[in-house]
Structure 1
Amino acid sequence: MASKLKTLYEELQRAFYAQPSSDLKKCAAVLTQLKIGLIQAGLLLPQGNVNLGDLVVARDILEIGAFCSIRSQDVPSFDRYFSQLQTFYIDYSSSLPPSKREYPIRGLNLVRLLTQNRIADFHTTLENLSADVIAENPFIRHPVNLERWLMEGSYSKVWNARAEAPAEEYKFFVDSLMGTIRNEIASCEEAAYESLPLKDAATLLFFTNQSDLLKYAQNRGWEVNLTASTITFAKKGEEKMEIPKQRLIAASLAYARELEQIV
């Protein structure tokens, strides 16, 4: 590997492992330069005989990029890194030593598919993994459990799973998933109730503090009465549809006359 790429790789590692947290801005700048270097060196989409040591470094660079994308809440960027990593995870799986980041990244991709409601893609992706990995690997088992609980409607288990996430990055997607679930629950509440006590609404919507609930209620256009500690749901006015009686009568008579002529 060229000395310039090696120097940039070391710079990326320092920024990524910086304490108390990664220097994401620095990582992004270095990753841009590294990806150009990988393209020039034929390592971003490797083909033919390539030095295996260089491939390990290239894979590590892309994996760091995937984690930085999630920490920066940049899902499209994560998608690109995950796509680029498939060459290393599939085509060179028998040549390269295992990566400790592979299954955490595969698991993150599965949770991403759930947040986008891409259930068919979720199951297709699972089919490429062995039964032992699905059953035993904590990074894969977590999204599998999430999908099952979603299908069951066990939203409280999905919420509790946030605290049990196998990696900190998983919480970003679980939070996104909970946002979708909250909106579904809120729509059901609006249809089923005229009002609810604040405490009950917070419990149903998985809010742990009142300020978050009040902000959510404001965005939904709900009326909050702090004195009575209640929320009144906004009701959409029923649309009135005017029935054209005269036209219907005239059309019916014309139809009847036509039937008489046929008979």
Structure 2
Amino acid sequence: MSDLKTLYESLQRAFYAQPPDLNTASGLLSKLKIGLIESGLLLPHGDVNFGDLVVARDILEIGALTSIRSKNIPSFDRYFSQLQTFYTDYAAQLPPSKREYPIRGLNLIRLLTQNRIADFHTTLESLPAEIISENPFIRHPVNLERWLMEGSYSKVWNAREEAPAEEYKIFIDSLMGTIRNEIASCEERAYESLPLKDAVTLLFFTNQSDLLTFAQERGWQIDLSAGLVRFAQKGEEKMEIPKQKLIAASLLYARELEQIV
């Protein structure tokens, strides 16, 4: 336990440093998790020291946040799973953690970015109603999900600046990447070309250079002299709609209905 205490203190120094030393923190977390396993604190059961449990919970929470800041989503997923024992089984015995709902909110946004809407709602239903309506860390992903379902993408974009914690912005950036690809697919079908300034606005870019990089990835042609982005043609045959035949058939159908009446 003395070794664990020394490692824990080093982890805190690395995590709270300005800027945080994520590489050092990640290395220390690997050693600390081994120590927690050997001490029976990673998956606690039976009679345990509640002070040790608070420390173990804090280590795992730092691990979850370090994973997000390092953009290691699978690692965050593992830490969140391990924290469930502390957040549920020992909720009554341990003092509340100020990081619990920020981490729960991050998990909800993670489910949104992975399009796991059913899991999102199942997870949300496990929380008290007053937490869902009043806690800013939970209310934020709830709003995001509603705006996504409505197609209010501009509100999702604006929500980045209203995020209750910096870690939330990483997931919102990922959401915007998915949204941009959806909008881009619609643009390719609806238009042959668009003015560059309109494409920047529609795709929620803040400058033209980001659009140029995105366009290159999708195989679009950029005509800087004309100020246009031209979409790659899919080689699909255009179907000519027989307007005259459709009109004649509709009139004939209408006359037959009148005769029946």
> What is the TM-score with the length of structure 2 in the denominator?
0.90
Deviation at 1:201, TM superposition (A): 0.4
Deviation at 1:235, TM superposition (A): 1.3
* Unaligned ranges ≥5, structure 1: 241-263
State the Cα deviation string for residues 198-226 of structure 1 (Å, max 9, x = none). 00000000001010000000111111011
Q: Distance in 1 between matches of 2:204 and 2:23?
A: 33
Equivalent residue, structure 2, for 1:98? 96
* Unaligned ranges ≥5, structure 2: 239-261
State the Cα deviation string for residues 210-251 of structure 1 (Å, max 9, x = none). 1000000011111101111100100111279xxxxxxxxxxx
- Letter in structure 2 aligned against 1:81: Y
Equivalent residue, structure 2, for 1:58? 56
Q: Distance in 1 between matches of 2:186 and 2:147?
A: 19
State the Cα deviation string for residues 94-122 of structure 1 (Å, max 9, x = none). 00000000000000000000000000000
Q: Distance in 2 between matches of 1:209 and 1:68?
A: 30
Equivalent residue, structure 2, for 1:252? none
Candidates 199, 206, 209, aligned match of 1:208: 206
Q: Within the alignment, does 1:132 sit opposite 2:130 as a pair?
A: yes
**1:11-50 to 2 correspondence within 5 Å?**
11-19=10-18, 21-50=19-48
Percentage of matched positions with identical amino acids: 79
Candidates 223, 229, 236, aligned match of 2:234: 236
Equivalent residue, structure 1, for 2:251? none
State the Cα deviation string for residues 74-102 of structure 1 (Å, max 9, x = none). 00000000000000000000000000000
Q: Distance in 1 between matches of 2:74 and 2:217?
A: 26
State the Cα deviation string for residues 151-195 of structure 1 (Å, max 9, x = none). 000000000000000000000000000000000000000000000
* Number of aligned positions between the proteins: 238
Q: Distance in 1 between matches of 2:17 and 2:180?
A: 36
Equivalent residue, structure 2, for 1:75? 73
